[in-house]
Amino acid sequence: MRLGTSLVRFMLSSATPSTSYISSPQLTASSLAFNKSPYVQILNHRNHIMHRLLSSEPARRSGGWGQAPPLSFQMLLVGLMAGAGVLAGSQVYIDTKMQKAMQTTQQVAGKASVGGGAFELVDTNNKPFTDKDLLGEFALLYFGFTFCPDICPEELEKIAAAVDMVEAQTGVKIQPVFISVDPERDTPAKVKEYVKEFHPRLLGLTGDLESIKRVSKLYRVYFSKTGESKTDYLVDHSIIHYLINPEGEFVTFYAKSYTADNLATSMSENVRKWKASHPDYHPTLKLT
């Protein structure tokens, strides 16, 4: 039973998003309102349910409070599998609520609540790259680092598949962009070799620490080095994709739970809406 309890506790901890992203000091007053959103309420409700599952209260019997019957290994295994399914489903539900809550906050606070504003980085040829260079393009931004062992490669492969599907569905080529949050190790040359592995149009950007902090703050991206070594460390960061329209405005964001198909469906819908309201729009793909 102790093993089962440990497993359930692990499932709970691994399924809970990083609170550092919610309470990061980088958040502005407008995004602090997000902490009062349905996302936080749902997360608290889920944790309450799991707490009850892990509590040591005895089961209620017809004759009063008594000792719960012992759990067999099979019953425990079935319970854990069911719990894993519930948590996986609730994570998708939470991500959806999180997205709606942030979009509501954006509508209340204005388009600058997420994204928007000037930034200056360098591309893989060590040439200056600013927010204005993305104008005229649909862009999908992702923040990560080249030494990331698993999550970043998985997310970039997802992006690569999604942008190809959007092109097939709408005829519009979305510009995928990778922005490093590890400026100490991610040189332009390093990023150049890295992005080649995922998609021929994937644009890699990096810069000094202050430049990375500035663009991360614009998009409410949290990142922090983990580990004591100066060279052998990981970077904890938000796992979010940001869709930007040709006018440089934030459209929406996608959490890690989105599949490539989910991404493509949503992006295609947003592209069609844009084209319908901007009949003179003709993508140039000047960056590639």
Instruction: Report the C-alpha gap between 205 and 280 in whole angstroms.
Output: 30
The pLDDT value recorded for residue 75 is 56
**237 annotated to a ligand binding site:** yes
204-215, pLDDT tens digit by residue?
Answer: 999 999 999 999
Which of 42, 40, 33, 41 shows the shortest CA–CA distance to 105?
A: 33
Measured from the Cβ of residue 75, the count of other Cβ atoms closer than 10 Å reads: 12
Q: Which two tokens stand for residue 212?
A: 């990375």
Residue 105 contacts residue 93 (beta carbons within 8 Å): no
Please state which architecture CATH assigns to domain 114-277: 3-Layer(aba) Sandwich (3.40)
Residue 229 contacts residue 242 (beta carbons within 8 Å): no
Q: Which two tokens stand for residue 68?
A: 């719960």
Which of 122, 105, 98, 270 shows the shortest CA–CA distance to 191?
A: 122
**152 annotated to a ligand binding site:** yes
The pLDDT value recorded for residue 163 is 98
The pLDDT value recorded for residue 83 is 57
Instruction: Report the C-alpha gap between 268 and 106 in whole angstroms.
Output: 21
- Residue ranges in the chain modelled with pLDDT below 50: 1-69, 71, 86, 88, 90-99, 101-112
**Residue 121 CA: distances (Å) to CA of 116, 128, 245, 257:** 15, 6, 19, 29
Instruction: Report the C-alpha gap between 195 and 177 in whole angstroms.
Output: 9
The pLDDT value recorded for residue 60 is 38
The pLDDT value recorded for residue 76 is 53
Instruction: Report the C-alpha gap between 24 and 119 in whole angstroms.
Output: 20
The pLDDT value recorded for residue 80 is 58
- All CATH 3.40.30.10 domain ranges in the chain, comma separated: 114-277
88-138, pLDDT tens digit by residue?
Answer: 454 444 444 444 544 443 443 344 456 667 899 999 999 999 999 999 999
Which of 236, 249, 257 shows the shortest CA–CA distance to 97?
A: 257
